[in-house]
Amino acid sequence: MTRSAGSTEALRALPAVGELAGRLTGVPHPLAVHAARQAIAAARERVLAGGEAGDVEAEARRLAEAPELPLRRVLNATGVIVHTNLGRAPLHERAVAAIAHVAGGYSNLEYDLEEGARGSRQGHVEALLCELTGAEAAMVVNNGAGAVLLAAAALAGGRELIVSRGQLVEIGGAFRIPDVVAQSGARLVEVGTTNRTRRSDYERAIGEETGAILRAHQSNFRTVGFTAEVEIEELCSLGVPVIDDVGSGVLAPGVPELADEPPVRRSVAAGAAVVCCSGDKLLGGPQAGLMVGRREAIERCRSHPLARALRIDKLSLAALAATLDLHRDPAAARTLPVLAMLTAGEEELAARAERMRAAIGERARVLRASAKAGGGALPLLELEGPVCAVDPAPLSLGELAARLRAGDPPVVGRAREGWLLLDPRTLTDEEAGLAAAAVTRALAA
């Protein structure tokens, strides 16, 4: 057989990308596809150079398995869906693929391919955001707090910013609304009380020095009982620009679990100058700060010097565009991991919990417990369902938890009355199998 014929046969023998990716069990699909594509390309080059194709599957697996780095994949068995310490919202596979698509080379991040001139990175998502929210204009920055900071600086810098005392909230990491306002250069004017603020409180505070009103959603707690607040429609009727920080970013309609969160579209329709929300909470995307609203107000934000300091990077932008595109179809939006976990049914969760119990054996049983949305969202929502509970004896609960954290991949569960709970709501079927195997190894060690 000639070399040319041998090369041809060797090339034909190479697996298809999808076939090879399917063999890489335990590897997330987008990463498996990327690794398979790289391994096949390298094997093809070797064959064309007169060499052997080699073990393509082994090479693909090597490429897919990340080296030991400080930032690692963790299995979240806590039942906290948007777990801030574990990276918040897991991304949809289309968002992961979008990141991989632009990460390995150059992109049209700020280049207009039609005109052959410099473009704007905001153009990749502005039309999508306007379509989804009804806003005149939109932009994105690197996180939700950055969005509020930029809006306050652009609309009220050097002037007064009116805020209800009941909305001077503190978010994670001891970051407080008054501190954000101070950094924007605006002068904070507090109105009302911690539990009751009326329209008349705002009207008395509005004057020549007023730059804007800030409304901050109480995303991580609720005030109940003898309370009163001014709705967004009434605030927008006061004749002063309104910055509405709605927190978690609800774009998906018709999801009962999201009923307590303010929808972005409502604030836009009410006439808010700028509506701010996060991209990595209930919206289900990457860390980002979304800003939608009136064209003149968004342009002021876009042209403010802070806009460059807070700009979003290309990888987050790619993931955000893919996530927003999914939100255009309500059925597709429900496949976003965050929404799928929020709305997971009893039968699905029970089957997953039972598979973990069976894999672990007599040291495990299925109990009931409540999961949480997390991430400073829906603080009153209790998502009751089945969990796999593990008896750590003869180990202590702390020792079993430590062994699981030290595993590969690490597994993080939660403790309750001496049991280690593995919540199936925050695990995929594949991850549940890996978690059960990790528990078995930890108990046997």
Looking at the structure, do residues 86 and 99 belong to the same domain, yes or no? no
Cα–Cα distance measured from residue 193 to residue 201, given in angstroms and rounded to the nearest whole number: 10
Cα–Cα distance measured from residue 399 to residue 431, given in angstroms and rounded to the nearest whole number: 22
- DSSP type of residue 196: B
Q: Contact, 390 vs 439, CB < 8 A?
A: yes
Looking at the structure, do residues 39 and 184 belong to the same domain, yes or no? no
Q: Contact, 20 vs 55, CB < 8 A?
A: no
Q: Residue 8: how many CA atoms within 13 Å on its side-chain side?
A: 5
Domain of 10, in residue numbers: 3-64
Looking at the structure, do residues 48 and 82 belong to the same domain, yes or no? no
Query: What residue type is assigned to position 78 of the chain?
Result: T
Looking at the structure, do residues 243 and 114 belong to the same domain, yes or no? yes
Provide the edge-to-edge strand list for the sheet that holds 210-216.
137-141, 289-293, 274-278, 242-247, 210-216, 160-164, 187-191
CATH number of the domain to which 193 belongs: 3.40.640.10
pLDDT of residue 220: 58
How far does CA 54 lie from the centroid of its chain? 39
Cα-Cα end-to-end distance for the chain: 54
Looking at the structure, do residues 291 and 390 belong to the same domain, yes or no? no
- Indicate whether 136 belongs to any domain: yes
Report how many domains make up the chain.
Answer: 3
- Indicate whether 219 belongs to any domain: yes
Looking at the structure, do residues 53 and 109 belong to the same domain, yes or no? no
Looking at the structure, do residues 270 and 390 belong to the same domain, yes or no? no
Cα–Cα distance measured from residue 271 to residue 293, given in angstroms and rounded to the nearest whole number: 8
- Residues ≥6 apart with Cβ < 8 Å to 309: none
Looking at the structure, do residues 187 and 305 belong to the same domain, yes or no? yes
Q: Contact, 373 vs 88, CB < 8 A?
A: no
CATH number of the domain to which 431 belongs: 3.90.1150.180
- Indicate whether 172 belongs to any domain: yes
- Indicate whether 69 belongs to any domain: no
Task: Kindly report the pTM of this predicted structure.
Answer: 0.84
Length reported for the chain: 445
- Which residue, 305, 333, 361, sits at the end of a domain? 333
Write out the chain's pLDDT in tens, 445 residues. 444 566 788 888 999 998 998 888 877 777 788 888 889 988 988 888 888 889 999 998 888 875 566 888 899 999 999 999 999 989 999 999 999 999 988 999 999 999 999 999 999 999 999 999 999 999 999 999 999 999 999 999 999 999 999 888 876 656 688 888 889 999 999 999 988 999 999 999 999 999 999 999 876 566 777 778 899 999 999 999 999 999 887 888 778 888 878 899 999 999 999 999 999 989 999 999 999 999 999 999 999 999 999 999 999 999 999 999 999 999 999 999 999 999 999 999 999 999 999 999 999 999 999 999 988 778 778 999 999 999 999 999 999 999 999 998 899 999 999 999 999 999 999 999 999 999 999 998 7
Looking at the structure, do residues 175 and 281 belong to the same domain, yes or no? yes
- Indicate whether 27 belongs to any domain: yes
Q: Is the dihedral of CA 132, 133, 138, 139 positive or negative?
A: negative
Looking at the structure, do residues 320 and 245 belong to the same domain, yes or no? yes
Looking at the structure, do residues 98 and 88 belong to the same domain, yes or no? no
Give kind and range of the element (H or E) at residue 8. helix 3-13
Looking at the structure, do residues 312 and 247 belong to the same domain, yes or no? yes
pLDDT of residue 69: 67
What distance separates the 2 farthest-apart alpha carbons in the chain? 93
- Indicate whether 175 belongs to any domain: yes
pLDDT of residue 67: 57
Helices (H), ranges, 249-380: 264-270, 295-303, 306-309, 314-327, 330-333, 337-342, 346-360
Q: Contact, 35 vs 63, CB < 8 A?
A: yes
